[in-house]
Amino acid sequence: MSALPAGSPNRRDRLRAETVQEIKDTARRVLVQRGVDGLSLRAVAREMGMTAPALYRYFSSRENLVENIVVDLYDELCAELGQAVDAARPATPPVQLLAASRAFRRWATTRRAEFGLLFGSAGDGLLPDVSAPADAPETPVQEAAGRFGGVFGGLVAAIYLERPFPTPAEKDLDPALRAQLVAWCRTLPVELPIGAMRVFLSCWIRLYGMVCMEVFGHLKFALDDAESLFEDELRQLAELLGVADAYATVERA
Amino acid sequence: MSALPAGSPNRRDRLRAETVQEIKDTARRVLVQRGVDGLSLRAVAREMGMTAPALYRYFSSRENLVENIVVDLYDELCAELGQAVDAARPATPPVQLLAASRAFRRWATTRRAEFGLLFGSAGDGLLPDVSAPADAPETPVQEAAGRFGGVFGGLVAAIYLERPFPTPAEKDLDPALRAQLVAWCRTLPVELPIGAMRVFLSCWIRLYGMVCMEVFGHLKFALDDAESLFEDELRQLAELLGVADAYATVERA
DNA sequence: CATGATAGTGAACGGTGTTAGCGAACGGCG
DNA sequence: CGCCGTTCGCTAACACCGTTCACTATCATG
């Protein structure tokens, strides 16, 4: 038991980290080529000239491998959003939010299989949440999802703090809803009016719904190309946040 | 080849139909208990005291069995919506739409596994649509999904025809979006202004997004119980359709 | 009754996730 | 350097999966 206090990058640890990365990269390639169901440990191992049991030296199960990939994907998505935010000109929160939204859709439509893993019903077991104890610690996947949500949340918060958009009065909200929003707000770094959190949820529901429907093919009954609808929704969201002027000044690229 | 001109319910055909039904019922039970991945032909067969190969006398593959279940689920969902619509009092389109929306959420949250099969990313292959020829005939699943969409579409249409809600002017819509909406409109039984179709899509996106997020657990980062948010969204949709009065008159059940 | 369609069986093929046991390579330490 | 424990990858194996095949009962019908 060589309890190295971390720090020193043993040659062995370095090789191990490289192998872990190669496995995840290969798995992701298999995921894209063969789909979620085709993502088998044996296929991954085959692709890198190994055998399936060897993968268990690095991941405790197929499920664990998938979870690690999901976390990586969330972080990659966050990075891509951050890049779009940084590149947005003018560098104002409204324009940045539009850029992030477009980057989100682009990422989703470009990497359909990965998106399905993160936001669809396939990735996480559908049922376990029922039995999950309320005080369970957050899983790495949930943490990564939280970081992702924070990108949009932070931008909407910045927009509000700079120029408050109209929000429903706290008194007009259903008590049950208000109580939950208050509890949620307490877990966040910034403090916003409850009504603003409600508006944020509305925006996120529409963005999520729009992109999900497009990627999962549930919009084909009406439209072949959903981009124009997406842009129109984006325009409406900008109006909702009182930043329609920002939408008007940004070309659709 | 006894080419009975249909009509006569041979004893044999009756038994066969019963077996088909039993297989589908059993499969659905397995789906609920074991999840999508646990829905195996062998498990179904085991549960009914048969062997897996025997199922191939009734369904050409596991995929085919799942497709048939999906169609049944769509129809069951439609029936449930229709029941809610019929039971709505007063029997006016706005109240009926609210009833249908609530029934949709109730069905989804009550049958999570089934909902994931219909509206998530697991059921239909994620990629084949890319290679699907544009002139391919509609699959039974697509037809069933169309019947489902028609319920909400019909109600929104009825609301508009009775008391037109505000719609964006056709001239203000992006040409690409307008063209697609026009093409879609031509495939429908009723003729509505293009702007009304746009509003319908907006409503559907929000309803779908809301229910999907709740069922797939993507709302847990903010809320424990999504019902109050759902009701608030519903109220906003009613306002969008100019029927806020109908929402106010209906208790939340 | 004889015939042919039908519904079920068990065996088998190739695939999967996963575990157990073995040997070879490797890094740290006396 | 040589020892020794850890790590790593392998093969073999188990249980399960979808699917095909050959075979046998059953049963309605000519």
- What is the predicted pLDDT for the residue at A123? 56
C-alpha–C-alpha distance, residues B67 and A5, integer Å: 55
Name every chain B residue with its beta carbon within 8 A of the beta carbon of A233. Answer: 202, 205
Is residue A123 within 8 A of residue A104, CB to CB? The reply is no
| Closest by CA position to B202, among listed A198, A106, A223, A174 | A223
The pLDDT tens digits of the residues spanning B225-234 come to 999 999 999 9
- Region A62-90 average pLDDT: 97
A201 Cβ neighbours under 8 A, 6+ residues apart: B222, B229
Q: Report DSSP state, residue A122.
A: S
- What is the predicted pLDDT for the residue at B137? 78
C-alpha–C-alpha distance, residues A210 and B201, integer Å: 10
The pLDDT tens digits of the residues spanning A1-58 come to 443 344 456 878 889 999 999 999 999 999 999 999 999 999 999 999 999 999 999 9
With bands split at pLDDT 50, 70 and 90, how would you rate the model's confidence at B56? very high
Q: In chain A, how long is the greatest CA-to-CA distance?
A: 63
Strand D contact at CB of residue A145, distance < 7 A: no
- Which amino acid is it at B134? A
| Of the listed ranges A133-137, B25-29, B114-118, the one predicted with least confidence | A133-137
The pLDDT tens digits of the residues spanning B204-242 come to 999 999 999 999 989 999 999 999 999 999 999 999 999
- What is the predicted pLDDT for the residue at A137? 77
C-alpha–C-alpha distance, residues B27 and B50, integer Å: 13
B216·A121 Cβ contact <8 A: yes
B129·A220 Cβ contact <8 A: yes
- Which amino acid is it at B22? E
Quickly give B2 CA vs C5 C1' distance in Å: 9
Mean pLDDT of chain A: 90
The pLDDT tens digits of the residues spanning A149-203 come to 999 999 999 999 999 999 999 999 999 999 999 999 999 988 999 999 999 999 9
- What is the predicted pLDDT for the residue at A251? 65
Strand C contact at CB of residue B31, distance < 7 A: no
- What is the predicted pLDDT for the residue at A120? 82
